[in-house]
Amino acid sequence: MDKNQARLKIEELTHKLNKHNYNYYVLDDPVISDYEFDQLLKELERLEQQFPEFTRADSPTQRVGGQVIKKFKTVRHKYPMLSLGNTYSKEELQDFDNRIKKTISESYSYVCELKFDGIAIGLTYKNGSLTQAVTRGDGVEGDDVTHNVKTIGSIPLRVVANDLPEEFEVRAEIFMPHKSFIQLNEEKQKNNEPLFANPRNAASGSLKLQDSSLVARRNLDCFAYGLLGENLPHQSHFENLQKLKEWGFKVSKLTRKCENIEEVLKYIGEVESQRTKLPYDIDGVVIKINDYRQQERLGFTSKFPRWAISYKYKAEQGVTRLTDIAYQVGRTGAITPVAILEPVLVAGTTVKRASLYNADKMEELDLHYFDTVFVEKGGEIIPKIVEVDTGLRQSDAKKIFFVSNCPECGTKLQRNEGEAIHYCPNTETCPPQIQGKIEHFISRKAMNIEGLGEGRIEVLIQNKLIENIADLYDLKYEQLLGLEKIIRDEITGKEKKISFREKTVNNILTAIENSKKVTFERVLFALGIRHLGETGAKKLARHFGSLENIMNSNYDELLTVPEIGDRIAGSIVSFFEDNKNLQIIDKLHHAGLQFETESITITSSENLPLAGKTFVVSGVFEKHSRDQIKQLVEENGGKNVSSISSKTDFVLAGEKMGPEKKKKAEQLNIPVISEKDFIEMIS
Ligand code: IVH
């Protein structure tokens, strides 16, 4: 294929893929299979690799992501991103309309839209191509998240139309549909990672991921709700929204033009009744004056436009009776009280449990048995009790007090001074705590033993096959085959059957066997030493080279390792003082786990370029993250310290370094060097 043919083919494939993408993500009406789509995409990828000169920034191949951004650039908005005044009352909406009438004497129309509960984004297009996507930030400046946004299928990367302004900005909301949210949390639960509380947090967390290929897997979606710029096709909002639809943006079908406030109120009522059936979260509706000239005449208050307002729906409440309190014991021994309720329908789902957070919250509500309570389902997964109807309480109702002993193992609970949480101190034999330790041990970033999630650990503990992490290495095929149990998911309430069939058992045993090859730094992390995270474990492993060396070090020696402070050092010492832990380690050693770094390369640090030099690294850097810089310091024989003293040799300063540090460095006459100087020093 010659160059010209390649260019034409690339254009043709781009056009086809954009069209199919639009059919799939915006119209929700695909005409080809996923497989056929992937084949076209692969063909385009191949051609772009062969003829990179024809790869455009708005090519459909950009959607798979891959670019890793260390720190998002801060960008100033061309048009400030304002927020809206809001109200929960229909009377106030009437007042809003009356205020408009005072300024606008002729007739006017409103545009009513859903108020999507996601993250606001400004999408800039130049000559039809998406060039920049910026978050709201403080309204004046936001983060440039273009690479991440390009992975969202319902956002066009290229717009082709004959009435397109040379440059325009689309205001839109990025959100995570319920389906994707549930899927993501299920995956997180499997990997023993913390869950997102609601779809909004999940969308926001996803947009801030550094690796855009991970964002591509999060199934985010986007509704456009505004068009800004010069030479726009129309001088009114509703008509421009129709234009956006024509240009390939996803605009909600529920957007409606209303001729007066009565029609607006009707719209609000209609949306409210459909709200729980929508496949994404909304928290209200937005009402905007349609005509741009009228918008201009109405202008702005110091904070909000006078031509728009949002009407928010109250979080849905239900009234029911409290029947009991259950106490959940977490992996760290933390006790969470949960209210058990007579089932009640709230916001389309049956609520049977509500979170009570801690003893203080329970005390604040002054709960008594069989109290009538109001439960509310906000944006969170778990509903909460917001109020007690004390008027309905029987005079002899008994007050509920927080438990004094662990409901799982009976040990007396502890509460540290100044903390709201009660703990069960029995870390060794309290079943949920054992389970927590094992779940951590097998998790992806630790030993990565797949196949044991989804409640299987619980089954093994209940069958007394394992009591601690080392017991995993004694498990036999015959012991596992045929085990089964019905488990109820705490979050979704769904029941599922856990069974150990032949294939599962083989997979589990293979995964356990394979874990014997996992590197020492991950084994160290997997041991679950309190406060010792992934990075700390890495540093320790590299510094000491073996578990034996770590066990033979005292508190002061541990403190010499970068990143290891008194809290971690203390926790390491007490971990290895505990006989029970030593027995487990011994067993793991015999099982054949890696207790040494692969090759203990004792490079004499004296020969390294930064040997003997002490650095304070501060601020934000252009080419590296702060952690990377610190790692480079160590790899080159230097030492990181956190505060400047007369013993500091260099202060490595990035942007936004604190003025106090700067002053101190000057006072002590310590050279302040840049990232560039530093790279020169080590190269
Ligand atoms: S218009 C000046 N329309 O609500 C008008 N905003 O409080 C500015 N939002 O940060 C916004 N759906 O993220 C508008 N249909 C909609 C919206 C919407 C959700 C969010 C947006 C903004 C916040 C304003």
Nearest atom of ligand 1 to the alpha carbon of 114: 15
> Hey, whose CA ends up nearest to atom 2 of ligand 1?
82
The CATH number of the domain where 345 resides is what?
2.40.50.140
Phi, psi of 308 (to 5 degrees): -145, 155
Specify the residue with its C-alpha closest to ligand 1, atom 17.
115
pLDDT tens-digit map of 405-420 = 999 999 999 997 777 8
Strand order in the sheet with 672-673: 639-640, 614-618, 650-653, 672-673
Q: Is the pLDDT of residue 492 over 70?
A: no
Mean pLDDT of 397-403: 94
Verify that 304 and 172 share a domain, yes or no: yes
- Which uninterrupted H or E stretch holds 261? helix 261-274
Residue 602: per-residue pLDDT: 45
Does residue 169 sit within a domain? yes
**Count of CB atoms within 10 A of residue 303's CB?**
10
Is residue 388 pLDDT above 80, yes or no? Answer: yes
Kindly report the protein residue whose alpha carbon is nearest to atom 13 of ligand 1: 120
Residue 408 domain-assigned (yes or no) = no
Q: b vs e for 134-157, b when ≥16 Cβ sit within 10 Å of the residue's Cβ?
A: bbbbeeeebbbbbbbbbbbbbbbb
DSSP category for residue 25: H
Q: Which of 463, 494, 517 is the last residue of a domain?
A: 517
The atom of ligand 1 lying closest to the CA of 117 is: 19
- Reading the block at residue 392, the tokens are 């309905």
Separation CA 181–CA 179 (nearest Å): 5
In a domain, 420, yes or no: no
pLDDT at 600: 41
Query: Per-residue pLDDT for 182 more than 80?
Result: yes
H-type helices in 306-381, by residue range? Answer: 359-365
Residues in contact with ligand 1 (CB, 6 Å cut-off): 82-84, 113, 115-116, 120, 136, 173, 225-226, 286, 305, 308, 310
Q: What is the 308 CA–ligand 1 centroid distance (Å)? A: 10
**Distance from C-alpha of 121 to C-alpha of 220, rounded to nearest angstrom:** 13
Question: Do 467 and 508 sit in the same domain of this protein?
Answer: yes
d(CA 382, CA 372): 19
The DSSP element (H or E) to which 336 belongs, if any, is strand 334-346
98-127 pLDDT, tens per residue?
999 999 999 999 999 999 999 999 999 999
Residue 603 phi, psi dihedral angles, 5° rounding: -75, 130
DSSP code at position 114: E
Q: Active site includes 190?
A: no
Q: Is the same domain home to 560 and 493? A: no
Checking if the pLDDT of 491 tops 60, the result is no
Q: Which atom of ligand 1 is nearest to the CA of 113?
A: 15
Same domain, 350 and 435: no
Expressed in angstroms and rounded, the spacing between residue 305 Cα and the centre of ligand 1 is 11
Residues 674 and 608 in one domain: yes
Reported confidence tier of residue 621, pLDDT bands at 50, 70, 90: confident
Total number of domains constituting the chain = 6
User: What tens digit of pLDDT does each residue of 125-154 get?
Assistant: 999 999 999 999 989 999 999 999 999 999
Does residue 422 belong to any structural domain of this protein?
A: no
Of 164, 659, 185, 89, nearest in space to 381 by CA:
185
At 440-486, the pLDDT tens digits run 999 988 999 988 876 899 899 989 999 999 999 999 999 999 998 88
Q: Are residues 14 and 112 in the same domain?
A: no
* pLDDT tens, residue by residue, 293-309: 999 999 998 789 999 99
| pLDDT at position 275 over 50 | yes
Q: What is the pLDDT of residues 250-267, one digit of tens each?
A: 999 999 999 999 999 999
Q: Identify the top-confidence range among 202-216, 228-242, 448-462, 597-611.
A: 228-242
Q: Which amino acid is at 557?
A: E
- pLDDT the model gives residue 51: 92
Query: Quick one: 322 and 220 in the same domain?
Result: no
Residues 26, 81, single domain; the answer is no
How far apart are alpha carbons 231 and 165 in whole angstroms?
A: 6
Those residues with Cβ within 8 angstroms of residue 391's Cβ, 6 or more apart along the chain or in another chain: none
Which residue among 86, 116, 281 is best mutated to probe the pocket of ligand 1, counting the most ligand atoms within 8 A of its Cβ?
116
Residue 645: phi and psi, rounded to 5, are -140, 180
Answer with the one of 64, 83, 107 that is the final residue of a domain. 64
Q: How far is the CA of 162 from the centre of ligand 1 (A)?
A: 29
Distance 379 CA to ligand 1 centre (A): 17
Residues 381 and 291 in one domain: no
Mean pLDDT of all residues belonging to the chain: 90
Helix, strand counts (H, E) of the chain: 24, 23
Which residues, at least 6 apart from 135, have a Cβ–Cβ distance to it below 8 Å?
119, 120, 121, 142, 143, 145, 207
Q: Say what the pLDDT of residue 601 is.
A: 47
Domain span at residue 160?
74-312
Q: What is the pLDDT of residue 192?
A: 65
Ligand 1 midpoint to CA 174 (Å): 11
- Residue 410 contacts by C-beta under 8 Å, 6 or more apart in sequence? none
Structure tokens at 176: 């995570």
**Which burial class, exposed, middle or buried, applies to 322 when counting CB atoms under 10 A from its CB (0-12, 13-18, 19+)?**
buried
Which of these, 146, 157, 154, 131, lies nearest to 15 by C-alpha position? 157
CATH at residue 31: 1.10.287.610
- SS3 of the chain: helix, strand, coil, percent, to 5: 40, 20, 40
Which is catalytic among the residues 19, 115, 179, 399? 115
CA 49 to CA 52: how far, in whole Å? 5
Q: Which atom of ligand 1 is nearest to the CA of 136?
A: 10
68 and 210 in contact (C-beta within 8 Å)?
yes
By alpha-carbon position, which residue is closest to atom 11 of ligand 1?
83
Give the whole-angstrom CA distance, residue 233 versus residue 620. Answer: 43
Q: Which atom of ligand 1 is nearest to the CA of 304?
A: 2
Looking at residue 88, its amino acid is Y
Task: Please report, as a single letter, which amino acid is at residue 391.
Answer: G
In a domain, 419, yes or no: no
List 316's β-bridge partners, or say none: 377
Look at residues 575, 597, 619 and tell me which one is the last residue of a structural domain. 597
Q: What CATH number did the domain enclosing 546 receive?
A: 1.10.150.20
Q: How far apart are CA 346 and CA 171, in angstroms?
A: 33
Same-domain pairing of 449 and 558: no
Quick one: average pLDDT of 8-20? 95
Element (H, E) at 312: strand 308-312
Q: What is the tens place of the pLDDT at every residue in 312-367?
A: 998 878 999 999 999 999 877 889 999 999 999 887 778 899 988 899 989 999 99
Nearest CA to 353 among 323, 317, 386? 323
Residue whose Cα lies nearest atom 6 of ligand 1: it is: 115
* Separation in Å, CA 65 to CA 24, 57, 134, 156, 188: 19, 12, 17, 15, 21
Quote the CA–CA distance of 449 and 433 in Å, as a whole number: 19
411 within a domain of the structure (yes/no)? no
Q: What is the pLDDT of residues 649-675, one digit of tens each?
A: 999 998 877 777 888 888 888 999 999
- Compare 273 and 249 and report the one with higher pLDDT: 249
Helix (H, G, I), strand (E, B) or coil at 155: coil
Whether 10 and 155 map to the same domain: the answer is no
Does 286 have pLDDT greater than 60? yes
* Same-domain check for residues 241 and 203: yes
Quick one: average pLDDT of 354-382? 87
- CA 74 to each of CA 32, 79, 82, 205, 543: distance values in angstroms, whole numbers, following the listed order: 39, 15, 17, 17, 37
Q: Is residue 624 part of a domain?
A: yes
Question: Looking at ligand 1, which atom is closest to the CA of residue 119?
Answer: 13
Among all chains, which residue has been given the structure tokens 């440059």?
Answer: 167
Q: How far is the CA of 23 from the centre of ligand 1 (A)?
A: 26
State residue 605's pLDDT score: 63
Count other C-beta atoms under 10 Å from residue 444's C-beta: 13
Q: How far is the CA of 135 from the centre of ligand 1 (A)?
A: 12
What torsion, rounded to 10 degrees, do the Cα atoms 459, 461, 465, 469 define? 120
The rounded Cα 343 to chain-centroid distance in angstroms is 31
The protein residue whose alpha carbon is closest to atom 16 in ligand 1 is 115
Q: Return the percentage of the chain with pLDDT > 90, whole number.
A: 63
Distance 115 CA to ligand 1 centre (A): 6
User: In testing the pocket of ligand 1, which one of 112, 173, 257 has its CB within 8 Å of the most ligand atoms?
Assistant: 173
The rounded distance, in Å, linking the Cα atoms of 135 and 81 is: 9
Q: Tell me, yes or no, whether 425 lies in a domain.
A: no
> Under DSSP, is residue 355 helix (H, G, I), strand (E, B) or coil?
strand
